Structure 1
Amino acid sequence: MAPKLTGFLLIALLCCPVSCDHKRDFPELPAHRAEVFQQLASFRGTSRYKRDAPHSRSAQQEDWSSSCASGDSDQAKLNKNTHKYTFVDDDGSTVTLAWVGDGTGIILALTTFNLPLVWLFFGGTSRLYRSEDYGKTFVDISTILNNYYIRKEFGINVGPEHSKKVILTADESRHIGHSGKQSGVIIRSNDSGETFHSIRLPFHPGQPMLYHSTNSDFLLAYSADHVLWLSQNFGATWVTIHQFVYTYTWGPGNTIFFSTHPNGIYDKDARGVLELKRTTDFGKTFTTLLTKIYSFGFAGRFLFASVISNQTLPRSVYVSTDQGDSWNKAQLPPVSHEQFYSILAADSEMIFIHVDEPGNNGFGTVYTSDDRGILFSESLERHLFSDTSGTTDFTNVTSLRGVYLTNVLDKDNNIRSVITFDSGGEWKPLKKPDNSHCDATAKNSEMCNLHIHAAYSISQTLDVPLPPLSAPNAVGLILAHGSVGDAISTMIPDVYVSDDGGYSWSKALTGPHYYAILDSGGLIVAVESNPDKAIYNIKYSTDEGQCWKSHNFTNETFIFVGLVSEPGTKSMNVSLWGYSHESIYSTTWLSITIDFEELLTRDCQEKDYVRWLAHSTEAAEKTDGCILGYKETFQRLAKASVCRNGRDYVVSKDQSLCSCTMGDYMCDFGYYRVEDSDKCVEQPDLADRVLEFCLQGKEELLKTQGYRKVPGDKCEGGFTPNRSEQMTNVKCEQVLSLKESLSKITIVIIVISVLAASVLMMTGIILIFKKYVCGGRALVYRYSVLQTNTDEACVADNLDSSRSNTERVYHDDSDVDLLE
């Protein structure tokens, strides 16, 4: 027990200088920039987040309706279906969870204990557990690890869909009898973890292996010496694709895209001189698609690349819809070396892109593209985006099409929330919930709206456990933390729920909570976030958050860390992970799984569902519910129905086309919308000028009345403005080749990244819980997809030398790869 005690004491001492006062540690910045970013990210002494004295949790009263029945009648059923599992004698300081398959109930839990101190490591042990009943019980299968230490930054790498494939990456340098050679070992399973086999690699892995999206036997691996490797038989044998690779991704079919240095070297400062290459035959032949690229990415049917044609000129974005055979320059404002682009979202129809404003102000402009990804129109000004933390609050509400949430930084230096229901055509403030009042920070009661906390608030260590949550099979449902006022407040946030895709909201729970959607929205569960204090109850609602009941799941001391449910929101099981203190010297991991199937025993029938018109705001109007050119009427569960949708539930809907209106159009290139109006007006600086752009090497003349249809809009007839593009014989330069040498200037930052909208629908979801006690602070809880490199904790972690070459993190002087 003594080594373990020493380890935790060391971590506490190392962490306190940074973490104990709730401040965030910032990367090193030039002197003229550091002050600006410190002001942007710190909540002390700034008005960006409204501040006031937080309300006391001990005095919190839930705003549950007095008409809601208590959960006493359910207690006996839930008691019989509450299952506790104790990970006896497990010294793991982190635990990583992964679901294998869809609806199989199989969970793998990997615990690791590793206490780094400079170049020394204390511990370095791993244990692996397997459950076949959604976490109610586990079997210790650690013997399959053969005493290997599994690298926590790699975690459990689960294959796509129903592949049953799992990869664990070992750190051979900590294995007994290590020869010192730079090679690696993976421990793989193709039967959902029932059996494992170890494979020695001809390289040392530098990043988690990347599965092909449809063929899980195909793997890409990136070695610590910057070589791209390929396996076509689930890691049994490997071949080299290319050396000196910077970034890479799978494309359609057997296509692989990657960037490399033209001189056959690896230089970490070589952004802007790289070549983008493609292979469609697994590395037998290569095609160079672009030169002088800074970074690239692939999403939907769009291939993106940022290009520096001349080191003294700004950067530009180029887009291809034919996998790089032809390119067109996106009609966007160029950015200097001190600005950045960011792809916020992309699908087969359109692209959302953020363009940073000059001056390191922490905001920029959101543009939306046409269906070719070439012509962009201004969608939202003063969009909040911090390049210190690399976070944006831009959120795709997957429970209803065309809906996105984000935050803006107003001229008064406050952060406010806005929402769009038509894919960026128009942005509006969120309505104030009827059951809420403006908080004490509001200076203008006439501007009392709901404001949502998302990734930026979490990055700044506000008490926000989770970002907004929605799911495609829970139609219209959104859960989010927020505050009500004229701007976001740093008062302790409450949980708000929308059942109509963001048009209206209601306060559901007082104070911050962890929450999860179960049974396709038929059940919501929540656990109060109260760091380092024992939790005894879980709250649940069967009517989309109107009424809540409480279940006392334990009478023992349980320090709650995270709430876990199977990806896809169809399960009826939820697990609470945490630990108990055996003594002041040690802790023990606990998992408490609650099965709600015995509570909702009746399968839903036809009479339990109602027809609901999405986007309905004015029932008397003929155009009511028309968004993106058509109406959608869903069959969704009535709030009063207490029944089970079941795993086979499929969202049912009917569609009907609408006549076109101005609302079906975005402002065309060179035009913008006046506030609170559908009318597009010409930008003053482009008035009376011929609008032209480069398309496939030829100059195109654009004749427009200022409108272009929103990509994906299906309306017919009605408002039909004239618009034409006329190709001339004048050649235009699309991409310049790099022939001159790279000038030695510092390329500061360009962030090009995609926030995947379908994260929760992927089969392999990994969650990480950390048990490092950092000066009494809250334990860290992180959520990640197929990689475990997002956990951010103590200084002690940063001293772990094994992380330096393996993690992909945001840097102030380099790109963040697109679509990793």
Structure 2
Amino acid sequence: MVPRLILALLPALLLSAAAEDVGAPVPENKINSHLDISTPVKHDDPTHPANAVLQEPAKVAAVAEPSANESATGVAAGKKVSVTEISFDSLIDDLVWCGNNHTTVLLKTQSGRLYRSSDGGIQWTEITHLFQGSARNGSYKVDSVVVCETDKNVVVVIGDSKTHFISGNAGRSFVRLEFEGTINMWLFHPLKPSWALLSSWEGACFANENDEDCVHSIFVTRDMGRTFDRVARYVAQFSWGDITTNSEDRIYYSRYSIESGDQPKQDGWNNGISFMCTDDFGYSSSVIMEGGNKFLVSGNYVFVARVADPVRQTVNLYVSTDNAVTFNKAELPVELEERSYTILDTSEGAVIIHVGHEYEGGDIEVGNVYISDASGLRYSLSLPNNIRSASGECEFDKVYSLEGVYIANFRDDSGGMLNPRNKFKTHLDGTKTQIDQKRNRHVSHSKVEPNIRTVVSFNKGAEWHYLQPPKVNSEGKPYDCEEGKCFLHLHGITQYKNFAPFYSVEQATGLVLATGNVGDRLRFDPSQVNTFLSRDGGLTWTEAHKGAFIYEFGDYGGLIVMAQDQKKTKEVIFSWNEGATWFDFSLSKHDVSVNNVVIEPKCSSLNFILYGNRNGIGVAFHLDFSSLGQPLCKGIWSIDSSSSDYETWHPTDPHGNHCLLGRKMVYKRRKQASECFNGKEFRATVEREVCNCTPDDYECEIGFTRAIGSNTCKIDGTWLMREGCTSSSFFWADAYRKIPGDVCTAGWIPHQVAVPCPPHSPLSKGSKAVLSTIMVLAIIMMAIVYISHNDKLKHLFHNYGFKQFNYVAYTPVNAKKAAQRGAGFGGRFEPELGFIDAEQEQDEPTLLNYLSGNRAASNSQQQQATRGEQRQIELL
């Protein structure tokens, strides 16, 4: 499936100071394709009708053969996968599932035409003609398609002009919306399919002859688009409330305070914008926070970015847990300017945020990841220098089938793999360039690659570990890398145009797919990038196949389908035993540039859609693996027995601890060696058992951090100070706090640690007395020296028998010894080099034994929206 733009389970928030367009739609959680946006060209091949509107499906039976990486044995040998190919008028731009049975697919091409399939992608019908009669210029073009999450039968088609349509039967028929204007964004109500908010640029925004002001307005419909009411004008951002707090009918929005003239483009943080809400659809409204530019409503939390300094373009994050009645400023552990935020996760009773502290030129952008306590207000540092894109997508992803497991990329500024506990850089190596629409497959090799490494956490970011590499590659050969610098590094979302990012789905327990390399850091040369798979949530990995592939899960993880996306191909490879063996088959006689492999939202089917382009023409393949004739798995009620195809499995962290977040999770899943299909009726189950507490159930308190591979919290920096602290004293502090959502009981209890007061602390009374005495003595000595050198006063010393001090010479203590020691060095002292103390050696990351591993792909745009939890909001 295509890589996701952001975390799929949590709607993510980017509160950014450099965005492009006010009210622009939130990027989907999953990129809908790796599209090559080139101009369609005519094709001389008679089998490739480039000018045809829609080609009749060509159905073939592809014989599955063992992959080049596998032996010639296996039950799949000689069996056939049903392949149906169809070409479209232009490149495929978007593909979404709708309808309650997940068999209806809508496909939009770059030319603005819309196609519909009611059988999962086998047969396609163009339905653009349903809209043609209402087009002002006679040629209707579809701009986007929005599917309601609470009722998949409700679909909105947004046109490229001022005519739009809605369907209540998954696209079989449409009714024109009674709204005469452009639609910038359409937002369905969280519970009511007939309710929606939309935003529109009005007035002179598109017509110079219009005398009205160009403004961005929001409207509400409560009758499936038959009527619309204006809610507010001069709007920067808007959202429905949240069902968690029973405020789903409330409308939140941010608005310019001055409501006259053309609405300015929001190209930075602006203290003339306020955060507001209305409970009666705009008849009355309330200002919640002046200067509140951007916000996110997620569960019990309301986050608002409030302008701190419009000149320096800094903001502060405010958090509410009482339905926006009261707000408190988030407390971060460092005194750094805050310029942007991405809310990464709000599940399990805590908030994980990515904070951008600076904007500078460079190849990548980074920011620090912080995790909150249960209040959502006090944040401790989790991971420094987390990689992010200029538009806010962070390489920080959840393993969606497990609780508390995350994979992330960071720029390691420690200068070496064996000393990871370094001071986090406070600046960002940022880039302001926009991501090209055309996928760039060329990587510059003239510059030094950034020191990017991949880490995994099994306790919600409280502790991080480097990924342990496979012992051998897919060819059975050991990896050639230096001991102590040999780890697995994976590509994340910022490189989605070049390589598929690490990917998991909720339905495939413990499975993760990724592209990357084994070595001391992440490599960007395509020849060094391979595809990896983990079966245990990222603890251990295997190299699934040489080369970079795009991938997808089916049959609840029982079937993995992959295709080359770095070069043209005519082959697809698949595995139905979680990567133990792979088989390949031919798609067609002609090569295709693969953009994506997708499946229906539940990942339960045996039918996939692979789409891409051939010489500028969009082409799609329906792949039906049910034709292989594999039996349904058996033994669901006799799990773990020799006759059952199922087993129990529990995740483990790098310390060998079976308890994650205070509980042992026991999952039911298919045995790897069982070559059978789960079937659509399969449901994974999980049993939970509460554990005793260990250090892994605690995260660091504010002012403390953990080194990579360590569970010991040590003080970070010298800013931590208590009231009454003096420079010569210390105080007791809590270095640990229980991870929010962790349910462990009894067991390990952390003790307070002694923290020395920082050097800049006030002096104690005793220190002040000593310092005062020294100062008095120094003044007296200076006076004596002055008098002894003064011709009018030096006679006073003769009266008391003193020698004249100006004729006295002093020899430094041990001067002779020092001179002898310095002989031969030209008077210079050269310190010893290369000294590594024991403390540094203890910081070396723990090396873990490799068992086995795997990795996964991504889903369709609509699929990831349903899974996603990372809601991104850009400052435009």
Report the TM-score when normalising by structure 1: 0.71
Aligned to 2:155: 166
Maintained 8 Å contact 1:228/1:240? yes
Map of 2:293 onto structure 1: 294
Query: Kindly tell me: are residues 150 and 342 of structure 1, through their superposed partners in 2, closer, same or farther at Cα, counting changes over 3 Å?
Result: farther
The answer to whether the aligner puts 1:243 opposite 2:233 as a matched pair is yes
Task: Tell me the secondary structure at the aligned position of residue 137 of structure 1.
Answer: coil
Report the equivalent of 2:718: 685
Kept in 1, the 8 Å contact 2:550–2:857? The answer is: no
| 1:397 equivalent in structure 2 | 399
- Aligned residue for 2:79, secondary structure, equals helix
Match of 2:588 among 550, 554, 575: 554
Residue 630 of structure 1 and its aligned partner are, at CA, apart by 0.4
Two-structure CA RMSD over aligned residues (Å) = 3.2
- 1: distance between equivalents of 2:722 and 2:108? 63
Question: What residue ranges of structure 2 are gaps of 5+ in the alignment?
Answer: 1-17, 21-65, 203-215, 243-247, 416-449, 637-643, 726-730, 753-855
What residue is the counterpart of 2:451 in the other structure? 414
Aligned-residue offset at 1:340: 3.0
Match of residue 119 from structure 1:
none
1:610 to partner: Cα distance:
0.4
- After superposition, what is the alpha-carbon deviation per residue over 1:662-719, rounded to whole angstroms, capped at 9, x for unaligned? 2111111233335543233344524551499xxxxxxxxx995222110110101112
Choose from 637, 652, 656 the match for 1:615: 652
Aligned-residue offset at 1:490: 2.0
Bigger share in strand: 1
Q: Counterpart in 2 of 1:197?
A: 175
CA contact (8 A) 1:559 1:579 kept: yes
Distance 2:710 2:220 in 1: 53
Q: Residues of 1 paired with 2:141 and 2:270: CA distance? A: 29
Residue from 250, 254, 259 that aligns with 1:255: 250
Residue aligning to 2:599:
565
Partner of 1:447: 485
Task: Indicate if the aligned counterparts of 1:349 and 1:711 stay in contact, CA closer than 8 A.
Answer: yes
Q: What is aligned with 2:763?
A: none
Match for residue 497 of structure 1 among 510, 533, 554: 533
Q: 2:144 maps to which residue?
A: 155
Listed as ranges, the gaps of 5+ residues in structure 1 are 1-26, 30-60, 114-125, 173-183, 582-586, 693-701, 724-758, 768-782, 787-807
Percent identical residues: 27
8 A contact 1:298–1:304 mirrored in 2: yes
2:360 matches 1:374: no
Displacement after TM superposition at 1:761 (Å):
11
Report the more deviating stretch, 670-679 or 369-378. Answer: 670-679
* 1:137 corresponds to 2:123: yes
Distance apart, 1:491 and its partner CA = 2.6
Q: Secondary structure at the match of 2:130?
A: helix
Distance in 1 (alpha carbons) for counterparts of 2:664 and 2:19: 51
CA contact (8 A) 2:571 2:585 kept: yes
Kept after mapping to 2: 8 A contact 1:150/1:168 = no
Matching of residues 533-548 of structure 1 within 5 Å: 533=568, 535-548=569-582
Amino acid at match of 1:104: H
Partner Cα separation in structure 2 for residue 557 and residue 477 of structure 1: 30
1:353-752 pair list within 5 angstroms: 353-358=353-358, 360=360, 362-387=365-390, 390-411=392-413, 412=415, 413-436=450-473, 444-458=482-496, 462=498, 464=499, 466-492=500-526, 493-531=529-567, 533=568, 535-580=569-614, 588-605=617-634, 606=636, 607-615=644-652, 624-674=657-707, 676-690=709-723, 705-721=734-750
SS in structure 2 at match of 1:416: strand
Deviations 1:748-791 (A, max 9, x none): xxxxxxxxxxx9999xx548xxxxxxxxxxxxxxx9859xxxxx
CA contact (8 A) 2:501 2:857 kept: no
Deviation at 1:351, TM superposition (A): 1.4
Structure 2 counterpart of 1:281:
280
CA contact (8 A) 2:155 2:168 kept: yes
Q: Deviation string for 1:381-410 (max 9, x for gaps)? A: 2322343x5442111111221111111112
Check conservation: 1:478, 1:501, Cα contact below 8 A: yes
Counterpart for residue 331 of structure 1:
331
Q: Distance in 1 between matches of 2:87 and 2:389?
A: 41
Task: Pick closer, same or farther for the CA change 1:548–1:675 going to 2, 3 Å.
Answer: closer
Which amino acid in structure 2 is aligned with residue 228 of structure 1?
A: I
CA contact (8 A) 2:458 2:653 kept: no
1:230 to 212, 217, 220: 220
Give the aligned partner of residue 304 of structure 1: 303
- Relative distance call for 1:629 and 1:150 in structure 2 (3 A) is farther
Q: CA deviation at 1:195?
A: 0.9
Find the aligned partners of 1:211 and 1:706 in 2 and give their Cα distance. 45
Shift in alpha-carbon separation, 1:554–1:371, aligned structure 2, 3 A: same
| Cα distance, 1:322 vs structure 2 | 1.6
Give, in whole Å, the separation in 2 of the partners of 1:234 and 1:391. Answer: 33
Does the 8 A contact of 1:608 with 1:638 survive in 2? yes
Give the CA deviation at 1:356: 3.0
Q: Does the Cα contact within 8 Å between 1:308 and 1:316 map onto a contact in 2?
A: yes
Residue 197 of structure 1: how far off its partner (Å): 1.6
- How far 1:556 sits from its partner (Å)? 4.0
Q: 1:259·1:274 contact (CA, 8 Å) conserved in 2?
A: yes
1:72 counterpart residue number: 77
Could you tell me how far apart the structure 2 residues matched to 1:397 and 1:347 are?
A: 13
Q: Distance in 2 between matches of 1:487 and 1:438?
A: 18
How do 1:86-97 residues align onto structure 2 when only pairs under 5 Å count? 86-87=87-88, 90=89, 92-97=90-95
Q: Structure 1 stretch 560-569 or stretch 296-305: which is displaced more?
A: 560-569
Shift in CA distance, 354/562, structure 1 to aligned 2, threshold 3 Å: closer
Q: Which moved more, 1:160-169 or 1:334-343?
A: 334-343
Residue 519 of structure 1 contacts residue 645 of structure 1 at CA under 8 Å; is this kept in 2? Answer: yes
Distance in 1, matches of 2:168 and 2:141, equals 20
Separation of aligned partners in 2, 1:410 and 1:108: 43
How many angstroms apart in 1 are the aligned matches of 2:724 and 2:195? Answer: 46
User: Secondary structure in 2 aligned to 1:634?
Assistant: strand
Question: Is contact 2:386-2:410 (8 Å) kept?
Answer: yes
What is the identity, as a one-letter code, of the residue corresponding to 1:263?
I
Query: What TM-score results when the alignment is normalised by the length of structure 2?
Result: 0.66
Q: What is aligned with 2:875?
A: 816
- Cα deviation for residue 359 of structure 1 reads 6.7
C-alpha separation in 2, matches of 1:156 and 1:445:
51
Offset at 1:64? 2.9
Question: How far apart are the structure 2 equivalents of 1:448 and 1:509?
Answer: 19
**Residues in 2 aligned to 1:568 and 1:538: alpha-carbon distance in whole angstroms:** 22
The answer to whether structure 1 residue 215 and structure 2 residue 192 are counterparts is yes
Give the Cα separation in 2 of the matches to 1:104 and 1:382: 40
Match of 2:850 in 1: none
Mapped partners of 1:653, 1:640: distance in 2: 21
Shift of 1:380: 1.3
Cα distance in 1, alignment partners of residues 304 and 572 from structure 2: 47
Report the Cα offset of residue 263 of structure 1: 2.2
Q: Aligned-pair distance for 1:194?
A: 0.9
Contact kept, 8 Å, 1:575 with 1:592, in 2: the verdict is: yes
Partner residue, 2:53: none
Q: Distance in 2 between matches of 1:337 and 1:370?
A: 21
Q: Quick one: structure 1 residues 553 and 310, their matched pair in 2 at CA, closer, same or farther if it must change by over 3 Å?
A: closer
Contact 2:531/2:548 (<8 A) preserved: yes
AA partner of residue 509 (structure 1): H
- SS of the counterpart of 2:626? helix
Query: Is the 8 Å Cα contact of residues 408 and 416 (structure 1) preserved in structure 2?
Result: yes
Cα distance between partner residues in 1 of 2:141 and 2:374: 42
Which amino acid counterpart does residue 155 of structure 1 have in structure 2?
S
Q: Whole-Å Cα distance in 1 between the matches of residues 623 and 516 of structure 2?
A: 28
Q: Structure 1 counterpart of 2:573, which letter?
A: K
> How far apart in 2 are the matches of 1:275 and 1:651?
46
Contact 2:333 2:702 in 1 (8 A): no
Q: 1:519 to 1:274 in 2, by over 3 A?
A: same
